[in-house]
Amino acid sequence: MKDQIRTAITILKNGGTLIYPTETLYGLGADALSEEAVRKVYSIKIRALSQPLSLAVSSFEMLHEVAYVDHAYLGILKELLPGPVTVLLRKKAIVPDILTAGSDLVGIRFPDNEIALSIIKKAGPITSTSANVSGKKPPTCVEEVAEEVAKKADITINGGRCKYSMPSTVVVMSREAKEIKILREGAEYDRVLHVLQGKAAGRRLHGIFMS
Protein backbone atom coordinates (compact mmCIF):
# COMPACT_ATOMS: atom_id res chain seq x y z
CA MET A 1 0.00 0.00 0.00
CA LYS A 2 2.81 2.43 0.80
CA ASP A 3 4.28 1.88 -2.66
CA GLN A 4 0.88 2.50 -4.25
CA ILE A 5 0.46 5.70 -2.28
CA ARG A 6 3.90 6.93 -3.35
CA THR A 7 3.06 6.11 -6.97
CA ALA A 8 -0.28 7.90 -6.69
CA ILE A 9 1.41 11.04 -5.32
CA THR A 10 3.88 11.06 -8.22
CA ILE A 11 1.05 10.61 -10.72
CA LEU A 12 -0.90 13.50 -9.22
CA LYS A 13 2.11 15.79 -9.23
CA ASN A 14 2.53 15.03 -12.92
CA GLY A 15 -1.05 15.89 -13.81
CA GLY A 16 -2.49 12.38 -13.67
CA THR A 17 -5.61 10.91 -12.10
CA LEU A 18 -6.42 8.26 -9.54
CA ILE A 19 -9.34 6.44 -8.02
CA TYR A 20 -9.08 6.51 -4.24
CA PRO A 21 -11.11 5.54 -1.15
CA THR A 22 -12.74 7.89 1.32
CA GLU A 23 -15.11 7.22 4.21
CA THR A 24 -18.10 8.06 2.00
CA LEU A 25 -17.49 6.90 -1.59
CA TYR A 26 -14.59 6.18 -3.93
CA GLY A 27 -13.32 9.40 -5.44
CA LEU A 28 -11.71 10.43 -8.71
CA GLY A 29 -8.71 12.53 -7.86
CA ALA A 30 -6.47 14.95 -9.73
CA ASP A 31 -4.55 18.10 -8.83
CA ALA A 32 -7.42 20.43 -7.88
CA LEU A 33 -5.30 23.52 -8.50
CA SER A 34 -4.41 22.56 -12.08
CA GLU A 35 -6.96 23.50 -14.74
CA GLU A 36 -5.55 20.86 -17.09
CA ALA A 37 -5.81 18.10 -14.47
CA VAL A 38 -9.34 19.15 -13.50
CA ARG A 39 -10.38 18.97 -17.16
CA LYS A 40 -9.29 15.32 -17.20
CA VAL A 41 -11.69 14.59 -14.35
CA TYR A 42 -14.57 16.23 -16.19
CA SER A 43 -13.68 14.21 -19.27
CA ILE A 44 -13.48 10.86 -17.44
CA LYS A 45 -16.80 11.48 -15.69
CA ILE A 46 -18.42 12.85 -18.86
CA ARG A 47 -19.50 15.72 -16.64
CA ALA A 48 -20.70 19.11 -17.88
CA LEU A 49 -18.33 21.98 -17.09
CA SER A 50 -21.34 23.81 -15.64
CA GLN A 51 -21.40 21.32 -12.75
CA PRO A 52 -18.79 22.14 -10.11
CA LEU A 53 -16.42 19.71 -8.43
CA SER A 54 -15.30 19.70 -4.81
CA LEU A 55 -11.75 19.41 -3.56
CA ALA A 56 -10.22 17.52 -0.67
CA VAL A 57 -7.66 18.72 1.88
CA SER A 58 -5.68 16.91 4.56
CA SER A 59 -5.43 19.64 7.21
CA PHE A 60 -6.97 22.90 8.35
CA GLU A 61 -3.81 24.67 7.16
CA MET A 62 -4.48 23.37 3.65
CA LEU A 63 -8.13 24.37 3.96
CA HIS A 64 -7.07 27.96 4.73
CA GLU A 65 -4.90 27.94 1.61
CA VAL A 66 -7.87 27.35 -0.69
CA ALA A 67 -10.77 29.10 1.07
CA TYR A 68 -11.70 32.01 3.31
CA VAL A 69 -12.92 30.92 6.72
CA ASP A 70 -14.85 33.30 8.95
CA HIS A 71 -13.52 33.13 12.51
CA ALA A 72 -17.06 32.46 13.76
CA TYR A 73 -17.10 29.18 11.84
CA LEU A 74 -13.78 27.72 12.99
CA GLY A 75 -15.29 25.95 15.98
CA ILE A 76 -17.99 24.40 13.79
CA LEU A 77 -15.50 23.23 11.19
CA LYS A 78 -13.26 21.64 13.80
CA GLU A 79 -16.18 19.63 15.15
CA LEU A 80 -17.31 18.51 11.72
CA LEU A 81 -13.94 17.81 10.12
CA PRO A 82 -12.34 15.50 9.31
CA GLY A 83 -15.54 13.66 8.49
CA PRO A 84 -18.21 12.87 5.87
CA VAL A 85 -19.15 16.49 5.26
CA THR A 86 -18.68 18.79 2.27
CA VAL A 87 -18.46 22.43 3.32
CA LEU A 88 -19.05 25.22 0.81
CA LEU A 89 -16.84 28.24 1.51
CA ARG A 90 -15.69 31.27 -0.49
CA LYS A 91 -12.75 30.18 -2.59
CA LYS A 92 -9.39 31.88 -2.88
CA ALA A 93 -7.84 32.85 -6.22
CA ILE A 94 -5.57 29.79 -6.15
CA VAL A 95 -8.61 27.60 -6.92
CA PRO A 96 -9.28 27.57 -10.68
CA ASP A 97 -12.70 28.71 -11.84
CA ILE A 98 -13.16 25.50 -13.83
CA LEU A 99 -13.34 23.53 -10.59
CA THR A 100 -16.23 25.61 -9.25
CA ALA A 101 -17.94 26.23 -12.60
CA GLY A 102 -17.30 29.93 -12.12
CA SER A 103 -18.82 30.10 -8.65
CA ASP A 104 -17.14 32.01 -5.81
CA LEU A 105 -17.86 29.04 -3.54
CA VAL A 106 -15.84 25.84 -3.42
CA GLY A 107 -16.93 22.55 -1.87
CA ILE A 108 -14.30 21.26 0.53
CA ARG A 109 -13.87 17.76 1.92
CA PHE A 110 -11.50 16.82 4.74
CA PRO A 111 -11.91 13.03 4.54
CA ASP A 112 -11.66 10.75 7.54
CA ASN A 113 -9.66 8.14 5.66
CA GLU A 114 -5.97 7.45 6.20
CA ILE A 115 -5.22 6.47 2.61
CA ALA A 116 -6.82 9.62 1.21
CA LEU A 117 -5.12 11.82 3.80
CA SER A 118 -1.69 10.27 3.17
CA ILE A 119 -2.01 11.07 -0.53
CA ILE A 120 -3.37 14.60 -0.11
CA LYS A 121 -0.77 15.50 2.52
CA LYS A 122 2.02 15.03 -0.03
CA ALA A 123 0.22 15.85 -3.29
CA GLY A 124 -1.77 18.88 -2.14
CA PRO A 125 -5.51 19.49 -2.67
CA ILE A 126 -7.12 16.97 -5.04
CA THR A 127 -10.52 16.79 -6.68
CA SER A 128 -13.22 15.19 -4.57
CA THR A 129 -15.90 13.75 -6.80
CA SER A 130 -17.28 10.24 -7.00
CA ALA A 131 -15.48 7.87 -9.37
CA ASN A 132 -18.41 7.33 -11.69
CA VAL A 133 -19.89 8.63 -14.90
CA SER A 134 -22.09 11.58 -13.97
CA GLY A 135 -25.61 10.45 -13.20
CA LYS A 136 -24.60 6.84 -12.58
CA LYS A 137 -24.42 5.08 -9.20
CA PRO A 138 -21.35 6.17 -7.22
CA PRO A 139 -19.01 3.34 -6.11
CA THR A 140 -18.64 2.28 -2.49
CA CYS A 141 -15.89 -0.24 -3.27
CA VAL A 142 -13.41 -0.81 -6.09
CA GLU A 143 -15.56 -3.56 -7.57
CA GLU A 144 -18.34 -1.04 -8.20
CA VAL A 145 -16.17 1.35 -10.23
CA ALA A 146 -17.33 1.17 -13.83
CA GLU A 147 -14.74 -0.19 -16.25
CA GLU A 148 -15.09 2.87 -18.47
CA VAL A 149 -13.94 5.01 -15.54
CA ALA A 150 -11.31 2.67 -14.11
CA LYS A 151 -9.50 2.19 -17.42
CA LYS A 152 -9.12 5.95 -17.90
CA ALA A 153 -7.64 6.66 -14.47
CA ASP A 154 -3.87 6.29 -14.10
CA ILE A 155 -4.07 4.28 -10.87
CA THR A 156 -6.71 2.74 -8.62
CA ILE A 157 -6.11 2.21 -4.92
CA ASN A 158 -8.22 -0.43 -3.21
CA GLY A 159 -9.01 0.59 0.36
CA GLY A 160 -11.91 -1.81 0.91
CA ARG A 161 -15.54 -0.84 1.25
CA CYS A 162 -16.19 2.75 2.32
CA LYS A 163 -17.21 3.19 5.96
CA TYR A 164 -20.47 5.03 5.29
CA SER A 165 -21.00 3.98 1.67
CA MET A 166 -23.14 7.03 0.94
CA PRO A 167 -22.56 10.64 -0.16
CA SER A 168 -21.43 13.32 2.28
CA THR A 169 -23.74 15.80 3.94
CA VAL A 170 -23.34 19.18 2.21
CA VAL A 171 -23.30 22.41 4.22
CA VAL A 172 -22.91 25.95 2.91
CA MET A 173 -21.51 28.67 5.16
CA SER A 174 -22.09 32.20 3.88
CA ARG A 175 -19.41 34.45 5.31
CA GLU A 176 -21.30 37.65 4.53
CA ALA A 177 -24.79 36.65 5.74
CA LYS A 178 -23.57 34.43 8.57
CA GLU A 179 -26.02 31.75 7.53
CA ILE A 180 -25.60 28.02 7.54
CA LYS A 181 -27.58 25.96 5.07
CA ILE A 182 -27.73 22.20 4.76
CA LEU A 183 -28.02 21.57 1.04
CA ARG A 184 -27.97 17.77 1.09
CA GLU A 185 -28.63 15.15 3.73
CA GLY A 186 -25.94 12.50 3.64
CA ALA A 187 -23.63 10.56 5.92
CA GLU A 188 -23.93 11.41 9.63
CA TYR A 189 -26.65 13.96 8.89
CA ASP A 190 -28.12 13.79 12.41
CA ARG A 191 -24.75 14.48 14.03
CA VAL A 192 -24.01 17.30 11.61
CA LEU A 193 -27.38 18.92 12.28
CA HIS A 194 -26.85 18.61 16.04
CA VAL A 195 -23.43 20.27 15.84
CA LEU A 196 -24.66 23.07 13.60
CA GLN A 197 -27.71 23.86 15.70
CA GLY A 198 -25.68 23.94 18.90
CA LYS A 199 -22.91 26.11 17.48
CA ALA A 200 -25.32 28.45 15.70
CA ALA A 201 -27.18 29.10 18.92
CA GLY A 202 -23.95 29.61 20.84
CA ARG A 203 -22.56 32.00 18.25
CA ARG A 204 -25.89 33.79 17.76
CA LEU A 205 -25.78 33.10 14.06
CA HIS A 206 -28.96 33.12 12.00
CA GLY A 207 -29.53 29.43 12.55
CA ILE A 208 -29.85 26.37 10.36
CA PHE A 209 -31.74 26.45 7.10
CA MET A 210 -32.76 23.45 5.04
CA SER A 211 -32.56 23.95 1.28
* pLDDT tens string 94-149: 999 999 999 999 999 999 999 999 999 999 999 999 999 999 999 999 999 999 99
Q: What is the pLDDT of residue 30?
A: 98
Compute the distance between CA of residue 180 and CA of residue 195 in angstroms, rounded to an integer.
Answer: 12
Mean per-residue pLDDT over the chain, rounded: 93
Q: What is the pLDDT of residue 73?
A: 87
**pLDDT value of position 173:** 87
Whole-number Å distance between alpha carbons of 190 and 49 = 32
Q: How far, rounded to the nearest angstrom, does the alpha carbon of residue 129 sit from its chain's CA centroid?
A: 7
pLDDT of 70-79, one tens digit each?
A: 888 888 999 9
Q: Report the distance separating Cα 105 and Cα 91, nearest Å.
A: 5
pLDDT score, position 201: 61
Residue 176 above 90 pLDDT?
A: no
Residue 208 has pLDDT above 90, yes or no: no
- Name the pLDDT band for 181 (thresholds 50, 70, 90): confident
Per-residue pLDDT at 143: 98
Domain segments of the chain: what residues?
Answer: 2-73+88-163
pTM for the structure as a whole? 0.94
**Residue 202: per-residue pLDDT:** 56
Q: 126: left (phi > 0), else alpha (psi -120 to 50), else beta?
A: beta
Query: Domain 2-73+88-163 maps to which CATH number in 3.30.830.10, 3.90.870.10, 3.40.630.30, 3.10.450.50?
Result: 3.90.870.10
**Which ranges in 14-161 belong to alpha helices (H)?**
35-45, 60-66, 74-80, 97-100, 114-123, 147-150
Q: What is the pLDDT of residue 179?
A: 73
pLDDT tens string 80-96: 999 999 999 999 999 99
